[in-house]
Structure 1
């Protein structure tokens, strides 16, 4: 996951007693809290798809599933307890990273994954096969990164786990990227040894979700934040309704589209001949290779651009 946006406190206005200023602040924080809440729900949905597809989870959740299995407890309870321990450390080391979004993430994600898993099994019972695995992998990653972008883009604090690497980077002067990769690797290894849900997606989440989150930042989160800013400057019920409808529409269509494609794929499985099945597998494999090449080319372009920027900065 990429570097989290820092929590920025709005400047205090000179007209503290003005009702309009108070209303603006209430609208801004309220809508950003709603944005974070929706983002966390989408993130949890994506994590559920990854979990039910047996392709692995992000290192932190994978570790918590392993602990839950060892302790015989629910994922929600275990994830909350682990979050509380890390939360205390973050509170002592850098409380500026704590906000409403921090509390929502640490409390909701584990329980939402449990709840969404129940719904998943009611809709698609006993459907683990090559196509549902690939579908869950793709849409799970898309929803996981979209949700991460929304909840972090709201700038109301980060999850306790996401605050570890920035704190280490700041105190040890190690680059954030390497601090985060090291952190994820440690949790990934821990998850593996305690029987957590480690798989292909765990490695992807640990190393390669940055470009996806950046994409969602540009095409969704920044636009949502701009709408919140526009409304907060001139709040009205009519404007609020439009903004809420837009946010709801985006979230609804993303989740619905993922579900419809998963369901469509499942319905078509029984109609495939052995030859068609082999062809679909080969086609999916080729698409995966193409996506890998696109990612590599994008990284090369990013390195060239960053190199040119570094030269000009000297």
Structure 2
């Protein structure tokens, strides 16, 4: 896959990187709440804790396995965003989580935890919107449901994504991870908020004048 590194592509790359920063920030806020992360992050955290491997390092190892599947069955989904997400997201989330603990500490009261989850929802949705709409590569885990959709086109993408998320949530639970409000909201509630940011922010940010540049990217929505 080749990209023409022109002004538009550079802009998309910057938006993708910023999206991953906000996504990592959102994951860290979910973790801070103590009420569960998105299913995939929760699963990775639980497996990392049970194996004794640092979360960020474990995430890279798991992404390497998933990348092999992506490379074999969904090579067109691979781009710069694939590698930024797979390699750096865990470290971004770890950095922000440590920062929140140092500056704020963990929320103790139930209402504080719920507000923390709500903030995490908004931040994660904002990050996902920027990362996905930049259209320069899909993370290995995110590619699974897209690949499944191409193999089983009669089943909508929603159900493919629900299956992968539910499987991650189950593994998280069996591994002793936290399943809670944050997990439920991530599985069912992020979509409308992501769509809101797509329409009212990211698409406007990506908009440009003149003819559309040639690009080998693949749409994620």
TM-score by length of 1: 0.64
CA contact (8 A) 1:64 1:196 kept: no
Aligned-partner SS, 2:136: coil
When residues 74 and 223 of structure 1 are mapped into structure 2, their CA distance, relative to the original with a 3 A threshold, is same
Alignment partner of 1:172 is 2:158: no
Indicate which of 41, 66, 79 corresponds to 2:21: 41
Runs of 4+ in 1 over 3 A off after TM superposition: 230-233
User: 1:186 & 1:134 partners in 2: Cα distance?
Assistant: 25
CA deviation vs aligned residue, 1:30-70 (integer Å, no higher than 9, x gap): 11111011111111111111101111111110110011111
User: 1:148 & 1:185 partners in 2: Cα distance?
Assistant: 19
Q: How does 1:1-314 map to 2 (within 5 A)?
A: 25-173=5-153, 174-226=155-207, 229-230=208-209
CA contact (8 A) 1:56 1:62 kept: yes
Tell me which residue corresponds to 1:274.
none
Q: Following TM superposition, by how much is the alpha carbon of 1:126 offset from its aligned partner in structure 2, in angstroms? A: 4.3
CA contact (8 A) 2:16 2:130 kept: yes
CA contact (8 A) 1:27 1:232 kept: no
When residues 164 and 126 of structure 1 are mapped into structure 2, their CA distance, relative to the original with a 3 A threshold, is closer
CA contact (8 A) 2:32 2:107 kept: no
CA contact (8 A) 1:64 1:78 kept: yes
Look at both structures and tell me which one has the larger radius of gyration over its CA atoms. 1
- Runs of 5+ unmatched residues, structure 2: 213-221
When residues 118 and 26 of structure 1 are mapped into structure 2, their CA distance, relative to the original with a 3 A threshold, is same
When residues 232 and 118 of structure 1 are mapped into structure 2, their CA distance, relative to the original with a 3 A threshold, is farther
Aligned-partner SS, 2:107: coil
User: 1:211 & 1:129 partners in 2: Cα distance?
Assistant: 28
RMSD value over aligned CA atoms? 1.9
Q: Following TM superposition, by how much is the alpha carbon of 1:93 offset from its aligned partner in structure 2, in angstroms? A: 0.3
User: 1:196 & 1:187 partners in 2: Cα distance?
Assistant: 11
- Runs of 5+ unmatched residues, structure 1: 1-6, 11-21, 234-314
User: 1:113 & 1:107 partners in 2: Cα distance?
Assistant: 12
Q: Which has the higher contact order (CA 8 A, sep 6+)?
A: 2
Q: Following TM superposition, by how much is the alpha carbon of 1:232 offset from its aligned partner in structure 2, in angstroms? A: 9.7
Q: Following TM superposition, by how much is the alpha carbon of 1:230 offset from its aligned partner in structure 2, in angstroms? A: 3.7
When residues 216 and 126 of structure 1 are mapped into structure 2, their CA distance, relative to the original with a 3 A threshold, is closer
The structure richer in helix per residue is: 1
Q: Following TM superposition, by how much is the alpha carbon of 1:177 offset from its aligned partner in structure 2, in angstroms? A: 1.2
Aligned-partner SS, 1:62: helix
Tell me which residue corresponds to 1:266.
none
Q: Following TM superposition, by how much is the alpha carbon of 1:131 offset from its aligned partner in structure 2, in angstroms? A: 3.2
